[in-house]
A and B are shown apart, each in its own frame.
Chain A
Amino acid sequence: MTATLTGPRSDETTPSGRHPSTIIARQVGREAVRSGLLWGLAFGVFIVLQTSAYTSQYKTPVARAGLARAYGTNLGLNALLGQAKAINTVGGWVEWRFLGILSILGSVWGLLTSSRLLRGEEGAGRFDLLLVGQTTRGRATIQSLTGLAVGVMAMFVPILVGTIIVGHGASVGLHLGQSLALSAALISGSVMFLTIGSLTSQLVRTRERAAAFAGTLFAVAFALRMVADTVAGAHWLIWLSPLGWIEESHPLTGHDLSPLWIVLDMTIITSVATWRLAQIRDVGAAVFSGSDTSAPHLRLLGNPVTLAIRLARSTIGGWLLSVAAFVILIGATAESATADRSGSSGIGQALGRLGAYGSSVADYLGLTMLMVALIVAMIAATQMTAIRREEADGHLEVLLVRPLRRSSWLAGRVALSVLILVVTGVVGGLGTWIGAASQNAGISLGALILAGFNVVPPAIVLLGLGAMTYGLWPRKTGVVVYGYLAWSFLIEMAGGLRKVSHWLLNSSVFFHMTPAPATNPNWTSATIMIGLGAVGIFFGGFSFLRRDLQTDAGEMS
């Protein structure tokens, strides 16, 4: 074998990939499309199934008028989904139903997706490699936003197909322009919160904080819309809420789509702000980065569980503050929201499925506690994904190569998660009582604290499902917990319309929660849910003890 030390450069060099200057857009777009398409398909199917259910069950004007009486005057549903307008028509019902539900889910998807793909990728250092390529910081941000836009388009297409399919039905009769307008309104929540999540990704340094920050803005927007839709004389507040703009667009029953222009303006403003902030900060840093040096603060550094509290305390604090603000507001407005409508038979009918009874204030709070349950369940999902991230980022390895049992670590983290869920539930009940008591609404502290405990069991089920997934397929933890959460919410919303298959209804974790304080908590059901969660946690833990740790960096070398 003979070798020469030097030689001329070969003429045969590989070309760069196609359009190397757009690699970030394609990278972000690929991820966003995958997720957007999945959610869009679910939304599209939901639209088709729900509309066909409505048209087949409520065939006559009389039946539809009955439905409108039941739901149109239901303050709880108005608070959750927005004011019902002309829901005795197919167009009115479709508009109210889908804008109400899908704007919430789409917004949550938007903020989670953008914080994951922007701040999450940057935090993991993967953007560093791309940013040394043929791009600048500003162009890279435009590329990221373009990638997200492609993801929204992937969500838009199945939704549009769904609205076209239902629009072609003789009993619905939407023309293409209306389908387009409805679909545009349906994805506007996703669009806005994608850019809001992009903006918060510039402001703070971790993915969790970026999502929590955007989530707080979402909670404020939701609370404002809720008050605007339920409190007499407060409807002007609707214009302060991004979710309110979507509601006011009325793509099928109105003639003025100008609120969607506000959505567009907002999207442009947040996009430009994102682009500008990305240019003036360092890669890997954030506008509010804080100091890089500090005197040691050794509190909460005694063991892995207190360490987890310390690392997540600002995020947990943010969640608790948001929930507290939300429920105090709801509690404070419950009396005035229901004062001139008490005695509405619609409320009782709407809650009948859930077994509710009692005063209209209690009914109102019972339905709005469903939103608290959703938030608590979302916290459960974030806790399980945080547990998974500890392993994926290699933090867990640093701990488990020391004299620490896997079982102790997991038990501590799950116990901490349960504690956070219980505290959030109690804060939900206590905050509602503080708000309601300030207006002498007449609901006791005990009833509302119980209502707070009542929202925890569904979250425990989600925690159990997440733990089981974490034990068996750790990399799928996020997909499974968020997917099941979205599924449960969709089924819960769909279940109010008609006699949906009991199997489907049972598959929603929220279906098994009674709407306290409108009715007493069903402790049997709660105990079963807690038991199911415990079984999931047990089997998840069992599997976790018997598998390899799996980091994102890979295991083999």
Chain B
Amino acid sequence: MPIPAIRTRGLTKRYRDFVALDDLDLQVEAGEVFGYLGPNGAGKTTTIRLLLGLARPTSGKAEIFDRDCHRQTVEAHRRLAFVPAESGLWPSLTGEETLHILGRVQGGVDLAYRSELIERFELDPTKKVRAYSKGNRQKVLLIAALMTRPDLLVLDEPTSGLDPIMEEAFRHSVREARDRGQTIFLSSHILGEVEALCDRVAILRAGRMVEVGTLAQLRHLSALTIEATFNGPAPDLTQVPGVTRVVVEESRVHLQLQGPIAPLIEALASTDLQGLLSREPSLEELFLAIYESPIDFAQGHVSTAVAANEGNRP
């Protein structure tokens, strides 16, 4: 049985009374691209800091390729590379010098690939870090992580500050890494990026994982997005069972439908309907649907709209 790249069991982190991460059970298989989503403060960076051994868990366990993240930190780090959201680079070093020292500490640098990455990301390595823009500092961190071809890439908001061309270079590099069999753990707010790259996605809310699965699985659990156009003013559809997130633009209505479609069809039958478009939700819509659902604190877990409506799907 293959060893998972990442495995956590009951991983919990508390800062005094605040629960940053609550009882996380997560498994990322070797070779997959795994998206990790959640709004600010949901616990994404806390998870990553626990995986990297930068923070100690209050309880539970985290492993990287079967190595305990806290007792065998160095062994675990030999197989991974990390790109943080914020640069902690040294302002007085040039890009080249920075890559050199980081390569010396990490070991195993593929020099030819490093040169290729410098070219791909259009980095001027003679500039000092203090003179780089945020995007260029991020490029240094990306190159430093990719150049050792690690078994696991842990990426925390890796494209913040990158322009669209460099964003594409990043996606190309991730696909290249996946094709080589490397595992990628991608925490990002850019849902399009996650949608384009990830095989599976986990969604975190208030320190708890509320969904995990492939995009197809998550979409199957979620609402349909419907756009209806009318000849004349749009009717009030807010009272139709299963209809949520209604947005009216003159004679056009956008809405989400959870549960059976029959009540909506029935309601539309009596209107002057001009056109009807129906599609599966994008990751962004899925994400928003989950986050607009109430948290069931009484039961000690999050009850999402998706979960609540799971049984209602036809």
Q: Interface of A with B (CB < 8 Å)? A: 1-5, 205-206, 284, 291-298, 301-304, 307, 311, 393-406, 546-549, 551, 553, 555-557
Contact = CB atoms under 8 A, between A and B. Distances in A.
15 contacts: A3-B246, A205-B91, A206-B92, A293-B128, A296-B94, A302-B101, A395-B88, A395-B90, A399-B105, A401-B80, A547-B56, A548-B56, A549-B49, A556-B20, A556-B45
A194 B77 CA distance: 45
Interface of A is mostly: loop
Nearest to A293: B126
Most buried by B among A1, A5, A291, A311: A1
Interface string B209-250: 000000000000000000000000000101000001111110
Contacts of A402: 77, 81, 102, 105-106
Contacts, number: 133
Q: Max chain B CB contacts within 10 Å: which of A307, A311, A398, A551? A: A398
A400 B92 contact: no
Contact of B44 (A4, A307, A557): A557
Nearest to A295: B126
Given A5-B247, A293-B94, A393 B15 contact: no
A298 B100 contact: yes
Contacts of A400: 52-54
Given A297-B97, A403-B74, A292 B131 contact: yes
B40 A557 contact: yes
Contact of A549 (B54, B78, B86): B54
B97 A555 contact: no
A555 B56 CA distance: 12
Nearest to A548: B55
Contacts of A294: 94, 126, 128
Nearest to B89: A398
A4 B248 contact: yes
Interface residues of B, number: 58
Contact of A401 (B52, B127, B246, B248): B52
Nearest to B131: A292
Contact of B78 (A295, A302, A403, A406): A403
B107 A557 contact: no
B282 interface: no
B55 A296 contact: no
B303 interface: no
A404 B41 CA distance: 29
A556 B249 contact: no
A296 B96 CA distance: 6
A393 B89 CA distance: 9
Interface centre among A4, A292, A297, A401 (most CB of B within 10 A): A401
B279 interface: no
Of A292, A295, A547, A551, most B-chain CB atoms within 10 Å: A292
Contacts of B42: 557
Given A3-B247, A304-B105, A403-B106, A555 B128 contact: no
B40 A397 contact: no
A397 B20 contact: no
Given A1-B246, A294-B126, A555-B55, A311 B100 contact: no
B160 interface: no
